[in-house]
Chains A and B, each alone.
Chain A
Amino acid sequence: MTRRQVRGALALPVLGVLAVLLLWGFSGLPPFGNFHGLYGQLLNHIALPQRHTTNVVAAVVFDYRGFDTLGEEFILFAAVSGVVMLLRADDEQEPPAAEVESPMLRYFGVIAVGVVLLVGIWLVAFGLVTPGGGFQGGVILASGTLLIYLGEGYAGWRDAIRSHWLDALEGGGALLFALCGLAPMLTGAAFMQNILPLGTFRDLFSGGLMLIENLGVALAVTGGFTQLFLEFMEETREADAPEEPGEESA
């Protein structure tokens, strides 16, 4: 028997055991569509009258469990900071000239950037009344900037995207979210207590403090993810033009 056949023979019983375990586990699941989470059912009943938002997930993330989200915000912040510290090169090389030849790709890129950014802003703005929100909208805004890279190449992308602005966006968004937690305490309320007027039910501006928190998350996610893309794109650029071993300075 070859190595490959031995591996296959060894894998088969393992896969069989896994399949039995999976079937056993699935057979114990409640019927499809049945949901027994009391917490979720409770929130579905109280979130609409209490917070005036139709997106109950947003009400949970930004209000009922807003403190958890603060932690998540700083996880993203720490992750992006770590990537930047690991990947950022010491020397700022001149980027290579734009190499995108196809006019169709350039036109498509320019048009699509506007459309995608608009979708992102829409998702952020309506985050509390539709399934969307700061995270989803922010990630879409960040990937919208990548279309500039597709259409204009690396140099055009670097012209449009400034790393310092991204730092400010990300840090500012996280700060805004933290301030949303601390500001109510100045008035004697609890941390992140929703002290702003809740607005009309189903209206765009409903949810009170959650609107500002949503904006903070959107800013932080946009800045953070674009910064990540920037750092990873720099990696590919260095691979395109590998440094000469003798040129490295101390």
Chain B
Amino acid sequence: MPLQAAVLGLAAVGATAVALCRNVLRQIIFSGIYGLVLVVLFVVLQAPDVALSMLVVSGTAYPLIVLAAIARTRGRAPEADE
């Protein structure tokens, strides 16, 4: 139980960090770390198969697609980013 509470707390901190971060690239890194916390949370809550899917989706697929989108939009409208 204390382990579960600790990881839930970490997830809350991670989600807040993602939401409050204003730099897009840094935000992707934060979201990756937050995803990793969620992976640990799933393992702690005894859902290892969900954790495996989450590991790849939050660690690779999601950051990659967001990065590709950022690269694409910056190429089109360089003045629009921060």
A: which residues have CB within 8 A of B?
Answer: 32, 55, 57, 123, 131-133, 135-136, 139-140, 143, 146, 225, 228-229, 232-233, 235-236, 238-240, 242
Contacts and interface: CB of A to CB of B under 8 A. Distances in A.
A136 B68 contact: no
Interface residues of B, number: 20
Contact of B57 (A123, A139, A232, A239): A139
A240 B67 CA distance: 13
Interface of B: 1, 48-49, 52-53, 56-57, 59-61, 64-65, 67-69, 71-72, 74-76
A239 B71 contact: yes
Given A123-B52, A132-B52, A146 B75 contact: no
Nearest to B53: A136
B61 A236 contact: no
Contacts of A235: 68-69, 71-72
Interface of A is mostly: helix
Contacts of B75: 238-240, 242
B52 to A, nearest CB: 4
* A-B pairs, 8 with minimum CB distance: A239-B75, A131-B48, A143-B60, A232-B68, A131-B49, A136-B52, A236-B71, A139-B56
